[in-house]
Amino acid sequence: MPEAEVVYSDVKLARGKKRANEAVNTSTDSTYSEIKISKTQPSTAELSEDPQQAVVRKGSKVTSERVVLVVLGVLLAAALCFTTFEIIKTNKKVKYLEDDKMKCDNNLTETLSKIKSCSTVQPTCPVPKVMDDPCSKCEEGWEQHGGKCYYFSISKSSWEQSRDECRAKGGELVKIDSREEQRLLERRLRDLMTEAEDKFWIGLTDSAGEGRWVWVDRSPLDQSLTFWSKGEPDNWTGDKGEHPDGEDCVRMGEQGGADDLKCWFDAFCSKPHRSICEKAGVRGKFKKVCD
């Protein structure tokens, strides 16, 4: 509230006569004093406000606060109702999904019980690569390289006996058709040979005619594809000529490795050696076999 203004007042004090001689020629003195009233005064508006209006204004203020509280309460109640409704709705969805999952599980179990167990089985294929693609497989004891299967014997026998053994296994003494095949066999024999003379028969001979080399399938040797070791073939007949027919069969192998793959040697066909058999890999397709 505004402070009371400073009020200046003319206060005249009448003093009595002291003496008769002082009364003469003495006029009345005037004293001015500043009076400051430090009292909180009501504003003009408040002074002019009717008490009844003040009561109404106070009542209006209380009523507004109550209205705000009521509105907030209504909004809070609405929010709680909405949240409760959403929770109930979500719970119903979860229950529906659980029931649906249970039905699916039961149907799946029933369906699987009617299906026979299946497995990918194909006796002619070793390791699955692509379903329904043709593949080659070698029998136990044979080594697969490309589309061919090779058998490296562990027993020693003559060239003719070795050939018969290969045929009994469904194959034939090996015929070398390419430099790549020669490289493969030459490297493989390095691991199998235990000594320099531990060589292997291959399917090449000139027993039908000296110097006319042919393979076991009767195809002539391609002279551009030969791997004779240095000085071979020499058709040696022995120190005393005990083998008048000379060396008519071919063996191969160089324990320490051969220069330029040249490791063919002609030898007496009756000499016992190990041998290399070959046959084509069995082809087939993968398929599912069910019980």
pLDDT > 70? residue 3: no
| Between 184 and 127, the higher pLDDT residue | 184
Confidence band, pLDDT 50/70/90 cuts, at residue 84: confident
Determine the average pLDDT of the residues in 54-74: 73
Confidence band, pLDDT 50/70/90 cuts, at residue 164: very high
Determine the average pLDDT of the residues in 66-80: 84
Determine the average pLDDT of the residues in 216-237: 96
pLDDT > 90? residue 258: yes
Span of 59-63, 154-158, 159-163, 201-205 with lowest mean pLDDT: 59-63
CATH code, residues 134-284: 3.10.100.10
Confidence band, pLDDT 50/70/90 cuts, at residue 37: very low
What's the pLDDT at 288? 52
Q: Verify cis geometry, omega within 30 degrees of 0, for the bond prior to 233.
A: yes
Q: Which of 258, 135, 282 is nearest to 188 (CA)?
A: 258
Return the structure tokens found at 171: 């194959």
The ranges assigned to domains in the chain are: 134-284
Predicted TM-score (pTM) above 0.85: no
Hunting for tokens 């030969």 — which residue is that?
226
Confidence band, pLDDT 50/70/90 cuts, at residue 263: very high
pLDDT > 70? residue 108: yes
Give residues with Cβ within 8 angstroms of 67, minimum separation 6. Answer: none
Determine the average pLDDT of the residues in 132-159: 87
